[in-house]
Chains A and B, each alone.
Chain A
């Protein structure tokens, strides 16, 4: 019976609201800048004085323009690189740093680095979540002694299974970002 009274109240409210709806006054609707969008991924690999930056930028977000991918240089063989990854939403100004959000919710995220055949490189995680599972916004990339050309894919997964065996298929979850960079080791 209590429900009935509630519903009656809702009914009366609905009817009275019908007469004075607030949203059909002809004003311009509020613009929405997509908050879930990540437009830019920067992977910075540093070894001594040498810095290589891999960037993917897609300023129209989910619009029809494809991301622009740039790689500033080639990797050297048998070298250890300190890597950091940065995610930005540049549809807003100033740009929103999504990396902070990822790091705050470390237990719900993981960045995966997948070198293709031809790229002799190993990745070690440099930061971890509160359960000591890898997060991956900070990594160490070590190239082997073999030169070659291929790709390096960076994937940010949301709500992956943690812990996992380090492969995307074992981790599950959803892909928030996935960029495949052309990479040469020489």
Chain B
């Protein structure tokens, strides 16, 4: 083959001599795997002595060519040399992809730090490997909190949900290795089922600009990618052991990757976490222990032209819910709020009793790609997910060990994407995806289902692209999604009638039993989403970008169908069948200035959400158990305004200062008042001192100040207390005070041998053992947040 090539070139170059030769061939040399431009790549025109070298932008220009076919020999120090045939007719542009393997041979860490932007104009931030490793014993939500604009919604300290610029739950889409995580994310107390240790890198897109992942990410998209595997004969891995004083437990995680020159590879990642009851500064947080076991395996082949990967992961977590947060009725709640200490404080234990959650999430996946030379890359994927969720409440009969909630969500999904890669100044992507979902709440619980049986069908199609025009980059995309939901549900007849469903949704009625009615609601939604943006490179250091995103989200099952007592929250939750989809219009600006010593980003945003669905207390309902606060979902016009600032100053070689500040203001425009559960403003300031000569010793002190949320709706209500024969105000609205936490972090490296190194880290969170409560922690009514925690971490890379 090669011989034939050489021969034809030789012949062609002879015939070429007679022609007019004034044409230019130009283009970029880019890496296939991460689209990085390759500087100083050499291009030799085969059969001649001419050669050119690419510049810092990866661009090459060859002048005085004839109308002819040429063969270029392209070489780069970090790549395998390749021959490329190019036909020149007039001035020709041709971008050349190179296989960029050799660079990753020397050092695995370089691979881990490579980052490919998910969007050209949207605001995005990246959680790097180090930060993920520091949070090895914690959760994904804890790691993400380190980014500006990302906060968390907690149920205690181990159930942590990420909040992006004020929005959470179904508004935040989580993509793990290309699969959309389907883990019953609708509930506030449902944390993402992700092992933070299996992630190589996490990217957060603030807003709905990641159209390829879904059009309903009104809050944002979190993209989790595994560590990249180099194509060479190697075996490497790491082990991280963390021990913590608070919770008197720890975690161990190990990963091992084996790869071969021929492209085959396999990887394994396992994590084990075990903690006992956590402690607030003044008392034990009884029944907050945690036990988590995760495993993921993958095997695949990664060739220049094609690749296939099969993977499987299981996440298995059991976590206790603070015993004192389980209250009987509104009177109990009132007493709990007014009492400074939790009711139940027992000696420390590793036991996990009811109330507790047990969640198991499995993902099995097969993905593949095929590359068309000078055209693009076609990827296809099928995946299956099974999420099992058990929630155990305290039952009246303590011998009854059945869970109160037993949900199984199964999802089968598939997608096909095509990435156009032939021109370096253009990115273009189109794709389709489909999904079938089956939700089964097991009746064995003997408790009326909070979420009904349902089948969901989704179909999506999108196209997006960006083009570089000199200093400008323009980006645009559009997506259409079809969602269908077929549910089967028993309503209490009195509720069905009280909400006038018997008039408005009579077509869903099937059969009436004593005091319950069986209905089959079916809903269909057509969602359109789009994004448009522009970024301008003012100079080498400064970039400004503006992005507009339109997103639509169908109401989720809990917003539609909730109709009863949420036992663990001691509240009645009511959904609404008449909801239509939320539509968000978000404009975000991103100003970045980055020099060697100073990098600064300010990202203001405005998010206008029509038919925003929220849940808040609306009154009290009497039952035989006493009165309960009723939390009703409703739709409103919402407006979120805010900005995030990131500031990083390298004061000297050793001394670094960084600062983050985030502010969100949420307004319920319809009612002209503040939105409920909007994160408070917060600022994080860190000083880091590094002494490279002393085994890379690094010391840092972080100050985290969280302001009091002064803007909140007053949803307080009164309750009668028989004990005192008085009516008392139940203050469930007023946010807790501002708080300030100091955290210390240090690390030092040791070389074990030429292949392995050891890193020892000592961390102290909440250095001064400050008592505080966080507005977005559902357990703030019942107990203080975590006290001081000293962690010792040992990382071994081999």
What is the interface of chain A, defined by CB distance below 8 A to chain B? 3-4, 7-8, 10-11, 14-15, 17-18, 21, 23-24, 28-36, 38-41, 56, 58-67, 91, 93, 98, 101, 105, 108, 114, 116-117, 150-151, 153, 155, 157-159, 167-169, 172-180
Q: Output the nearest chain A residue to B404 by Cβ-Cβ distance.
A: A36
Instruction: Please report the C-alpha to C-alpha distance between residue A172 and residue B374 in the assembled complex, in whole angstroms.
Output: 72
A66: which of B295, B492, B564, B621 is its contact (CB, 8 Å)? B621
Q: List 27 A-B contacts (CB under 8 A).
A: A3-B270, A3-B293, A4-B268, A14-B384, A14-B386, A21-B410, A23-B438, A24-B455, A31-B443, A32-B443, A32-B445, A32-B446, A36-B447, A39-B624, A40-B624, A58-B623, A60-B493, A63-B493, A63-B495, A66-B621, A98-B396, A101-B396, A151-B725, A167-B723, A174-B327, A175-B332, A178-B626
A18 adjacent to B623 (CB under 8 Å): no
The answer to whether A15 and B364 have CB atoms under 8 Å apart is yes
* Chain B positions within 8 Å of A168 at CB level: 722-723
With A34-B448, A61-B624, A168-B722 already in contact, 19 other A-B pairs whose C-beta atoms are closer than 8 Å: A3-B293, A4-B295, A8-B297, A14-B386, A18-B364, A23-B453, A24-B410, A24-B440, A36-B567, A40-B624, A58-B622, A58-B623, A60-B495, A62-B628, A64-B495, A169-B335, A175-B625, A176-B328, A177-B624
Q: How far is the CA of A8 from the CA of B297 in the complex (A)?
A: 9
Tell whether B85 is near chain A: CB-to-CB under 8 Å. no
Q: Does B732 contact A (CB under 8 A)?
A: no
Check A56 against B624 for contact (C-beta < 8 Å). yes
CA distance A180 to B350 in the complex (A): 40
Q: How far is the CA of A169 from the CA of B331 in the complex (A)?
A: 11
Question: In the assembled complex, which residues on chain A have CB atoms less than 8 Å from the CB atom of B789?
Answer: none
Which B315-331 residues sit within 8 Å CB-CB of chain A? 326-329, 331
Q: Are A174 and B326 in contact (CB under 8 A)?
A: yes
B626 and A175 contact, CB distance less than 8 A: yes
Query: Could you say which of B270, B398, B518, B564 contacts A28, with CB atoms under 8 Å apart?
Result: B518
State whether the Cβ of B513 lies closer than 8 Å to any Cβ in chain A.
yes
Q: Is B490 a contact of A32 with CB atoms below 8 Å?
A: yes
With contacts A172-B343, A176-B396 taken as known, whether A3 is within 8 angstroms of B448 at the C-beta atoms is: no
Q: Which residues of chain B are near A59, meaning CB under 8 Å?
A: 515
- Asked if B720 is an interface residue, CB under 8 A from chain A, the answer is yes
Please list the 4 inter-chain residue pairs (A to B) with the smallest Cβ-Cβ separation, ordered nearest first.
A175-B328, A153-B722, A178-B626, A174-B328
B234 CB to closest chain A CB (Å) equals 22
Q: Do B438 and A21 touch (CB < 8 A)? A: yes
CA distance A125 to B518 in the complex (A): 45
Q: Say yes or no: B386 contacts A18, CB within 8 Å.
A: yes
Residues of B within 8 A of A155 (CB): 722
Given contacts A23-B438, A91-B515, A176-B328, contact A116 B722 (CB under 8 A): yes
A37 to chain B, nearest CB (A): 8
Q: Does B394 contact A (CB under 8 A)?
A: yes
Cβ contacts under 8 Å, A24 to chain B: 410, 438, 440, 455
Q: For A10, list chain B residues within 8 Å (CB).
A: 314, 362
Pick from A36, A39, A41, A173: contact of B395, CB under 8 Å: A36
Report chain A residues within 8 Å CB of B722: 114, 116, 151, 153, 155, 168, 178, 180
Q: Is B459 interfacial (CB-CB < 8 Å)?
A: no
Interchain pairs with CB closer than 8 A, number: 175
Shortest distance in angstroms between B752's beta carbon and chain A's nearest beta carbon?
24
B511 to A, closest residue via Cβ = A28
A38 with B364, Cβ < 8 A, contacts A3-B295, A32-B448, A59-B515 known: no
Expressed in whole angstroms, the Cα–Cα distance for A29 and B725 within the complex equals: 45
C-alpha gap A105/B622 in the complex (Å): 27
Number of interface residues of B (CB under 8 A): 68
Measured in the bound complex, the distance between the Cα atoms of B514 and A39 in whole Å is 14
Q: Does B18 contact A (CB under 8 A)?
A: no
- Look across to chain A and name the residue whose beta carbon is closest to the beta carbon of B452: A29
Contacts of A167 in B (CB 8 A): 723
How far apart are B73's CB and chain A's nearest CB, in angstroms?
47
Across the interface, B513 reaches (CB within 8 A) one of A14, A31, A157, A179, namely A31
Complex Cα–Cα for A44 and B399 (A): 29
A176, B510: Cα distance in complex, Å: 33
In the bound assembly, the distance between CA atoms of A23 and B447 in angstroms comes to 18
Does the CB pair A108–B494 fall under 8 Å?
Answer: no
B622 and A66 contact, CB distance less than 8 A: yes
- Cβ–Cβ contact A23 & B408, under 8 A: yes
B412 at the interface (CB under 8 A from A): yes
Q: Report Cα–Cα, A15/B386, bound state, in Å.
A: 10
Distance from B449 Cβ to chain A, minimum over Cβ atoms (Å): 7
- The reply to whether the CB of B312 lies closer than 8 angstroms to some CB of chain A is yes
- B344 at the A interface (CB under 8 A): yes
Q: Is the CB of A105 within 8 A of B397?
A: yes
Question: Which residue of A14, A32, A60 is within 8 Å of B362 (Cβ)?
Answer: A14
**In the complex, which residue of chain B has the Cβ closest to the Cβ of A118?**
B725
Is B760 interfacial (CB-CB < 8 Å)?
Answer: no
B406 CB → nearest A CB, Å: 11
Among residues of A, the one whose C-beta sits closest to the C-beta of B360 is: A10
Given contacts A29-B453, A168-B723, contact A175 B410 (CB under 8 A): no
Q: Which residue from A31, A35, A105 sits with its C-beta under 8 Å from B490?
A: A31
Which of B441, B624, B723 sits near A67, CB closer than 8 Å? B624
Taken together as a complex, chains A and B put the C-alpha atoms of A5 and B443 apart, in Å, by 32
| CA–CA, A36 and B446, complex, Å | 8
| Most chain A beta carbons < 10 A, residue from B329, B331, B516, B625 | B625
Judging by beta carbons under 8 Å apart, are B328 and A7 in contact? no
Tell me whether B488 is interfacial, beta carbon within 8 Å: yes
* A180 and B624 contact, CB distance less than 8 A: no
Residues of A within 8 A of B394 (CB): 158-159, 174
Chain B, residues 216-229, CB within 8 Å of chain A (1/0): the string is 00000000000000
CB of B203, distance to nearest CB on chain A (Å): 28
Q: When the two chains form their complex, are residues B513 and A18 in contact, meaning their CB atoms are under 8 A apart?
A: no
Tell me which residues from 551 to 597 in chain B have a Cβ below 8 Å from any Cβ of chain A. Answer: 564-565, 567, 572
B-chain residues with CB within 8 Å of residue A153 when the two chains form the complex: 722
Q: Are A63 and B492 interface neighbours, CB within 8 A?
A: yes
Residues of chain B contacted by A172 (CB below 8 angstroms): 343-344
| Inter-subunit contact B494/A65 (CB<8 Å) | yes
Q: Is the Cβ of A62 less than 8 Å from the Cβ of B386?
A: no
Closest to B449 in A: A32
Distance (Å) between the CB of A69 and the closest chain B CB? 10
With both chains docked as a complex, state the minimum distance between the C-beta of B631 and any C-beta of chain A, in angstroms. 13
> Could you tell me the distance between the alpha carbons of A155 and B452 in the complex, rounded to whole angstroms?
32
Is A176 in contact with B625, judged by CB distance below 8 angstroms? Answer: yes
Q: Which residue of B lies closest to A35 (CB)?
A: B446
Interface residues of B in 699-755 (CB under 8 A from A): 720, 722-723, 725
Interface members, chain B 484-507 (any A CB < 8 Å): 488, 490, 492-495, 498
Instruction: Decide if A18 touches B410 in the complex (CB within 8 Å).
Output: yes
Give the Cβ gap from A26 to chain B, nearest Cβ, in Å: 9
| Contact partners of A60 in chain B: CB under 8 A | 492-495, 515
Q: How far is the CB of A164 from chain B (nearest CB, A)?
A: 12
Q: Could you say which residues of chain A place their CB within 8 Å of the CB of B270?
A: 3-4
Residues in A neighbouring B624, C-beta threshold 8 A = 38-41, 56, 58, 61, 67, 177-179
> Once the chains bind, are A101 and B625 in contact (CB under 8 Å)?
no
Chain B residues, Cβ within 8 Å of A174: 326-328, 332, 394
CA distance A174 to B567 in the complex (A): 11
Decide: A34 near B447, CB < 8 A? Known: A24-B438, A180-B722: yes
CB of B386 within 8 A of CB of A32, answer no
Q: Is the CB of B398 within 8 A of A108?
A: yes
Complex-state Cα separation, A176 to B570, whole angstroms: 11
Determine whether the beta carbon of A101 is less than 8 Å from that of B397.
yes
Q: Closest A-chain residue to B410, C-beta based?
A: A21
CB distance from B578 to the nearest CB of A (A): 17
Residues of B within 8 A of A169 (CB): 335, 723
**A43 vs chain B, min Cβ distance (A):** 13
In the assembly, what is the distance between CA of A36 and CA of B568, in Å?
Answer: 13
Minimum Cβ distance to chain A for residue B760 (Å) = 27
Residues of A within 8 A of B449 (CB): 29, 32
Q: Which of A38, A91, A174 has the most chain B CB atoms inside 10 A of its CB?
A: A174
A128 to chain B, nearest CB (A): 19
Nearest CB of B to A28, in Å: 7
